[in-house]
Chains A and B, each alone.
Chain A
Amino acid sequence: MKVQTAPSPTGQRGHLRLDATIASSATVVGPFEAQGPLGPLFDRVVQDDLCGEKSYERAELCLLRGAVELLLDRSEVSATDVDLLIGGDLLDQITTTNFAGRDLGVPLLGVYSACATTSESLLLGALAVTSKAASTVVCATASHHLSAERQYRFPLELAVQRAPTAQWTATGGAAFLLGRNDEGLARIVAATVGTVQDYGLKDPNNMGAAMAPAAADTILRHFRARGQASRDYDLILTGDLARAGLPLLEELLGEEGERPAHRLQDAGVLLYDPSQDVHAGGSGAACSALVLASLVLPRLRRGELRRVLLVATGSLHSPRSYQQGETIPTVAHAVELEAIV
């Protein structure tokens, strides 16, 4: 039986018009991230990598839960007022998020798109608010350098030399409170869901290069749907192409006539100082969320930035798919933020 389908309501597949407010945000980071250039802007710094826990996986849970609890606390919202918690992390079966759901007792939607999880959860949260299916939504992501190393790479004490294109998973958690308030940090007005791209790259030590085409595709689709160009934005924040992927994205956009120049910045480049020896830069589900919450949202709130496109990118491989010689599929989700005035 042929099913009748209607054309996309926005005229562009995967493009969403949204109306939600980011009312507040909260960040918790590890000591190493606190030493970076954004260090003073984070809300809380945990004393050590273990966060007082017995494993790095539990430490990651401590970061995510800590960010959500801080968010609820400073927003004076109780967990029982939260309609939905949408979040994700990098560990197998997104245990960090699921365990946080158990601890917080909030209706939970766990999502995964690797380091694109930040914009995926914001996009879904804003969608729930826009549709009036929910009025108070918390979006949260976390990652931990050491739990990610354990899962994706090698034992911590193993003698390994890292490639210059390798990225450093950020240790931290960030949470955002979404609603329909008239006041807050910024408004989410539109989003574009990414299509999964695969240009046949296989090197997990150069994820920036694998993800740049996904970022370019999503940015261009978003511009087309909105009738915009890069000059309409004060900031296009990708996360996390790092120093290896950002020049590739610039070239890909340039070929389509888009030259955002200084407007285009990357969370993986901003989070750490080059002297911190993080190779190409930061990555991880928390990386773009930390930069968004600490640097970008306050500037939107102060009106220093008017319009921002958050384009979080994710590498969708697993250690097993890599060992079996599979290429790295990647995705980028864009969320358009506007200053509230």
Chain B
Amino acid sequence: MEPKEYRQRVKRLEPPRPIARNALWAFVVGGVICLIGQVVQSGLMAVGYNQETVKAPTSIIMVFLGALATALGIYDRIAKFGGMGANLPITGFSNAVVAPAMEFKQEGPIMGTGARIFQIAGPVIAYGLLTAFVVGLVRFVIMGGKP
């Protein structure tokens, strides 16, 4: 059989991903995490933070919760069915930093944990910063830095 023909057959026989089920779970898990985020944010505003100052402490608390669930070995289980519902929220970003930090502990604190800590989150930060730079540059050139 020709390789091309075989590849088409593999595609045909491949068990389909459970798209509807995955989407539903992503919605539920992602929704619940965002709901927790809203509870944290509203709670902080109730104790005196305003619309601007609340952002950083909300992030910190959500990152902490993600890190805790990762360290306890729960977060990867949530993601098994939650998929993007667990990956996309900031708790997923936290997991992407904490998981390699724990993983590469065996290779030492410098070249293990230290060097690999951004293995997964690094691309997100790098391309996020790059995009922000380009967006900012365009606005700077067009509007001269006016907000």
Contact = CB atoms under 8 A, between A and B. Distances in A.
A–B interface present (Cβ within 8 A)? yes
Interface string A202-224: 00001001000100000000000
A155 B79 contact: no
A198 B6 CA distance: 11
A150 B6 CA distance: 31
Contact of A150 (B73, B75, B103): B103
B3 A159 contact: no
B106 A55 contact: yes
A325 B29 CA distance: 33
Interface residues of A, number: 29
Interface string A140-155: 0000000000100011
Contact of B99 (A156, A164, A255): A156
A157 B87 CA distance: 12
Q: Does more than half of chain A's interface fall in helix, strand or loop, or is it mixed?
A: loop
A248 interface: yes
Contacts of B100: 155, 158
Interface residues of B, number: 38
B56 interface: no
Interface stretch (B12-20, B42-50, B57-65, B131-139): B12-20
Q: Which of A57, A155, A201, A251 has the most CB of B within 10 A?
A: A155
Given A157-B73, A159-B75, A160-B79, A244 B99 contact: no
A165 interface: yes
Q: Does more than half of chain B's interface fall in helix, strand or loop, or is it mixed?
A: helix
A161 B80 contact: yes
A159 B10 contact: no
A200 interface: yes
B76 A156 contact: yes
A200 B9 CA distance: 13
Interface string B79-109: 1111100110000100110111011101000
A226 to B, nearest CB: 23
A201 B9 CA distance: 11
B124 to A, nearest CB: 13
Contact of B98 (A55, A157, A213, A251): A157
A322 interface: no
A258 to B, nearest CB: 14
Contacts of B7: 199-201
A1 interface: no
Contacts of A305: none
Q: Which of A163, A199, A201 has the most CB of B within 10 A?
A: A199
A213 B6 CA distance: 9
A37 interface: no
B83 A161 contact: yes
B37 to A, nearest CB: 17
Interface of B: 1, 3-4, 6-7, 9-10, 13-15, 17-18, 22, 70-71, 73, 75-76, 78-83, 86-87, 92, 95-96, 98-100, 102-104, 106, 119-120
Interface of A: 54-55, 57, 150, 154-165, 198-201, 206, 209, 213, 244, 247-248, 251-252, 255
6 contacts: A155-B99, A157-B75, A157-B102, A162-B80, A199-B3, A247-B13
